Copies of this chain bind each other. A is one copy, B any other.
Amino acid sequence: MEDNASPGSHPRVVILGGGFGGLAVARGLADTGARVTLVDRRNHHLFQPLLYQVATAGLSAPSIAAPLRQILRGQPNVTVLMDEARGVDLSRRRVTLDRGMLDYEVLVVATGATHAYFGHDDWEPHAPGLKTLDDAFTIRRRVLLAFERAEREDDPAQRQAWLNFVVVGGGATGVELAGTLAEIARHTLPREFRRADPRQANVLLVEAGPRLLPAFAPELSEKARRQLEKLGVEVRLDTSVTRIDAQGVMLGDTPHAARTVLWAAGVAASPLGRQLGAPVDRAGRVLVEPDLSVPGHPEVFVIGDLASVTQPDGRPVPGVAPAAKQMGRYVAATMKARWQGKTCPPFRYRDDGSLATIGRMAAVAQFGRLKLSGLLAWWVWLVAHIAFLIGFRNRLVVMLDWAWAYWTYQRHARIVTGADETATLPRDA
């Protein structure tokens, strides 16, 4: 199926990926003559910064996901296709999809990154990562079922193994998951079990490097560690995970029994990056030109987590939502300038600050030299995340959910759906 073969004078733009980057390109091309096709293998844009809240039963999935068609319905020059890109033929300027192909004059690749196990793919079934809504449901199911299993277990060691949680990776996602798990065990569940005591849960956060949140200033890393410990999380720095299986994790040479292990340790770029034939870094990110185009192919842009961009001061542009959005807006502006015969200055990343939440009334924030932690940072985090959510309804519902959770300590999305993988574990596993 030739999806956009009709001839015309308006440039044909194909965008692969409907995340923060791809969506910003499509929106930036509103009110232009460009015929835009946005391809995503999912039907929704996901507000990934709050995905850990779905995984920990604090928010329902529709609160942080909106159909791409609905977001772009007001832009008649955009066609949304739910499909997956399998390859790009740069010389023929054609993208191969699962169900057809697309010719382009300008291509924007914004397919992001996924979690990666660095050569340990056998760890995946034992330590799910967190990139999609289905990942979040898997984590939610495992965490909730672990407490159910603990309640049914007579053997004290086995029971404790069900109450032991390990989060691998001390970046923002790992810190958020660990802090929230501790809160669930200490505050949400205690009165609800009759034999297992959820307060006996141990949440262990393991980081291979010397500090948590390496993207932040060292003093904030230290504050984050102390806030986590206050919430009941056990933090282990400079500690490598050498094995993960159904029994738990191996920390160096020491086994640590845990039936629930969550992976927040690393991401790898979408395989489409290598497919382009352009130079990539170790994580598979494309080393783009200063205008975010692929070397030798000014008509192909790579943005967001898939792009490796170095700032003038030598530091890399971080793989965060604001950077992806800025790249998307920049690429749309560059296209428009080119169509008018003009040129654009190179892409510059504007650091609007970094935020990471840790748990109830605890967060860290960094805006240039201004560093915040604790309650004030938590409020900033709260307001910023509600403000950037797409859709008026979602903002309202998330505010309501958070207010309710704050006062009651309850988490409203505590429902187990989908197949129970733990049921298939051998009884002595």
Instruction: Enumerate chain A interface residues (CB-CB to B < 8 A).
Output: 1, 42-44, 60-63, 65-67, 69-70, 73-74, 79-83, 99-100, 133-134, 137, 144-145, 148, 151-152, 154, 189, 191-195, 391, 393-394, 396-397, 400-401, 404, 408, 410, 412-418
Contact present for A416 and B43 (CB under 8 Å): yes
Cβ contacts A to B, 23 pairs, < 8 Å = A42-B415, A43-B144, A43-B414, A44-B415, A60-B60, A61-B61, A61-B413, A61-B417, A67-B192, A67-B415, A70-B410, A79-B194, A80-B192, A81-B151, A81-B152, A82-B148, A99-B152, A133-B415, A393-B408, A393-B412, A394-B412, A397-B401, A397-B412
User: Which residue on chain B has the smallest CB distance to residue A137?
Assistant: B417
In the complex, chain B residues whose CB is within 8 Å of the CB of A66: 415
Cross-chain contact B62 with A191 (CB below 8 angstroms):
no
**In-complex Cβ contact of A414 among B70, B74, B393, B416 (8 A):** B70
Instruction: Give me 12 other A-B pairs in contact (C-beta within 8 A), A43-B145, A69-B189, A393-B412 excluded.
Output: A1-B152, A42-B416, A61-B61, A61-B415, A62-B412, A69-B192, A70-B410, A82-B148, A393-B401, A393-B408, A394-B412, A400-B400
Contacts of A414 in B (CB 8 A): 43-44, 62, 67, 70
Q: Are A133 and B417 in contact (CB under 8 A)?
A: yes
Contact indicator A148/B192 (Cβ below 8 Å): no
Docked pose: A371 CA to B287 CA in angstroms:
70
From A70, A137, A189, name the one whose CB has the most chain B CB atoms within 10 angstroms: A70
**CB < 8 Å: which of B43, B145, B396 contacts A148?**
B43
- Chain B residues positioned under 8 Å from A134 (CB to CB): 417-418
Residues on B with C-beta less than 8 A from A67 are 192, 414-415
A393 and B397: CB pair below 8 A? no
Choice from B44, B65, B192, B400 contacting A70 with Cβ under 8 Å: B192
Chain B residue with the shortest CB-CB distance to A132:
B417
Q: What's the minimum C-beta distance from A34 to chain B, rounded to whole angstroms?
A: 14
Asked whether A415 lies within 8 Å of B194 as measured between CB atoms, the reply is no
Residue pair A62, B413 in contact (C-beta under 8 Å): yes
CA distance A127 to B404 in the complex (A): 38
Chain B residue numbers with a CB within 8 Å of A415 are 42-44, 61-62, 65-67, 133
A192 contacts across to B, CB distance below 8 A: 67, 69-70, 73, 80
Q: How far is the CA of A44 from the CA of B60 in the complex (A)?
A: 15
A44: which B residues are within 8 A, CB to CB?
414-416
Shortest C-beta distance, A277 to chain B (Å), equals 28
